[in-house]
Amino acid sequence: MHPLHLRTSGTSLLLAFDAGEAEIVHWGADLGDSIPDLSLLRSPIPHSALDVPVVAGLLPQASSGWLGRAGLRGHRANDDGVPGFAFSPALRVVAAEQSEDGRGARIVQSDAEAGLEVVSELVLHEGGLLEISHELTNAGAGAYHLDELGVVVPVPAQAAELLDLTGRWCRENHPQRRPIQQGTWVRSGRHGRTGHDSSLLVAAGTPGFANRSGRVWAVHFAWSGNHEQYLDSLADGRRMLGATELLGSGEVVLAPGESYRTPILYAAYSDRGIDGVTDAFYHWFRARPNHVGTTSGRQRPVVLNTWEAVYFDHRLEPLLELAESGAELGVERFVLDDGWFRGRRDDHAGLGDWYVDESLWPEGLTPLIERVNGLGMEFGLWVEPEMVNLDSDVARAHPDWIVGPAAKSHKDGGRLPLEWRHQHILDLVNPDAWQYIYERLDALLTENNIAYLKWDQNRDITEHGHTGRPSVHEQTLAYYRLLDALRAAHPGVEIESCASGGARVDLGVLQRTDRVWASDCNDALERQTIQRWTQAVLPPELVGSHVGPTHSHTTGRIHDITFRAITALFGHFGMEWDIRQASDRDRAVLGRTIRLYKQHRGLLHSGVRVNADLAEPNLKLHGVVAQDGSEALFAAVVHGTLATETPGRVGLPGLDPERVYRIEAVMPTSEDLPRTVEGDAASPFVQISPPAWLAHGTTASGRFLSEVGLALPVLQPEHALLLRATTVG
């Protein structure tokens, strides 16, 4: 069988067929038009080894001599009901075809004796993002118990370092690195959702790979339930980077003719460091027909969320005042957060009772919605449909709808999982519970002019069971079906994926939602790292980024308004703060930032994200450059004290080397700064005199600005400088 060669945007994937098995023999740099005889890749046979070369298949198998993690694990019982048979399939290719555009492939592999068939689909999208998934069908006579079906891609030996992301509540998506050594490295997520510590990106790269340099092979697993991500490094030098859904005992049992489809593994190769990987993901996102942002014509509105302004204190008059205060600043979407439904005075009660609380809202939400709309703003609403408090009408009426490890409800003596934020999980696998939630949300959206749902999920699913059997898999699919059904019934409503912050951020949920809440932490210093690494995969128009109060309630830090505003600007901009209480200066800076956001959101939400490689760990520079190179915005950010007296010259990456740019400081300027007792501007700069260009700007070529750089002023720690580059002539 002839090899299949998929190629686009500087990337090639080469599929070979040796010994009847499909194998990715190359994924990486473009190979050009000519492919030689692939026998030159056949491995030698060492001493103390199998007598034939080992094939690292599209699904690695012990039957082909693979000694690492198998791609497929499962078994079936014999005629006497004894389990453990068909434990080692020998899948071999029965069909392989390439798509007409040359960028896709469909491979069918079968093992008639084991009664299994696997269809693998691969697509190399314009922009270079690779998509792989497998579908397993039980073609045998009895039930097949599936333990694991993984999706893997090979990475070459020159990939010597591994980078992944981890975190916790209010500290999501922080990077960690390690050398790749022999053995299997595994990251497991057993949260019943993606998880605060889940790695949005796993990247293997050449030694020292960085933002703008080095070769990188990176993957993302598009699944919102339990999962594992891993790198398998064998003694023969071969390495597999992959992921799999983490299934519970007996969770997926396929009857004859039934199928299981893996979540999609997305993969990107770059010879330009991590920024090149980011480009591939952004290109894919922005080409989607359902994408929101400048490229789709659906610009991202300025948001005001009420949570950190009023918390559970829901009274009409203060909320109207907040809406009017926001409208004066230029807010375009007003979101009413937790506390509007029956019995909800704190987080101990009410979840599951999705009816507007008549004691708080005797006329329903109509007076607030009409005023918000009259001020020229959309209205959004917070919901948490998958959760339930025991102190709720629905829990009292339907105890069997509450998830637990037992086959009977807690009212009948069944054990419940431990509580988390005083709440449990509603069993969406139960069709009656699913239908109840769908009908309540459908009614809310039908009866009210709601343009946006902030869809939260504030706990892990630690012991998810349906009728006594593990069911995270089915709960995740039921959640997806619920989103799909509501989107079909209300196509104009946008939905945010929030899960106590960034605990459900993945491309599975983003196929059905319009943005994510990257973290419950609005501390600008924490947000700098959270947003940088969230946006390594997700374009900024999909990442909610809000200006929080002066005093952060999650960290206790106090930051100047300019630092908070510049940080929030590089995302889907909003505010989560009682802006009625903001000082005149803070409101003036907020108003100017909102005008800057509206002026530049076309650039921010369509441009190329760039991240400079700097030697000083406490100095960061990131930005967005227009696709045609005509303009750019950069933020120079000081995270802590610097080792040197001045930052020195810093290059501005991504600019067109042949163009001349005017560079100017946009924020803070003297009008943004606080005043001393004497009335002078209290500068955030720690210097006797500033760089010569700072007051009035300067001009230079993109090549000069990239290679030689710009002398930065000496900023205080936890401050930022916003720069704008525009072409001259």
φ, ψ dihedrals at 428, nearest 5°: -70, -10
Helix (H, G, I), strand (E, B), or coil: what is residue 609? strand
Residues in the chain: 729
Q: What is the 3-state secondary structure (H, E, C) of 509-549?
A: HHHCCCEEECCCCCCHHHHHHHHHHHCCCCCHHHEEEEECC
712: tokens are: 């930065």
Report how far residue 20's alpha carbon sits from residue 183's, in angstroms, rounded to the nearest whole number.
28
Kindly report each contact of residues 36-39 with a partner whose C-beta sits within 8 Å and lies 24 or more positions away, as own/partner: 38/3
Supply 336's token pair.
Answer: 């009413």
How many other CB atoms sit within 10 Å of the CB of residue 390?
18
E strand segments, 361-483: 378-383, 387-388, 424-425, 452-455, 465-466, 469-470
Q: Which of 232, 353, 520, 560 is catalytic?
A: 520
Marked catalytic residue, from 18, 164, 197, 456: 456
- For the chain, report the end-to-end CA distance as a whole number of angstroms: 57
Tell me which DSSP letter residue 725 carries.
E
Our answer to whether residue 456 is catalytic in this structure is yes
CB 388 within 8 A of CB 314: no
Q: Write out the DSSP string of 80-125.
A: T----BS-S---EEEEEEE-TTSSEEEEEEEETTTTEEEEEEEEE-
- Residues 24 and 292: their CA atoms lie apart, in Å, by 34
Q: Which bin fits 385, alpha (ψ -120 to 50), beta or left (φ > 0)?
A: alpha
Query: How far apart are the C-alpha atoms of 515 and 504, rounded to whole Å?
Result: 11
Residue pair 227/265 in contact by the 8 Å Cβ criterion: no
Which tokens hold the place of 63?
Answer: 């039957």
Amino acid (1-letter code) at residue 245: E
Pair of tokens at residue 102: 């040359």
Q: DSSP E strands: which ranges in 278-419?
A: 303-305, 333-336, 378-383, 387-388
Which residues are known catalytic residues? 456, 520
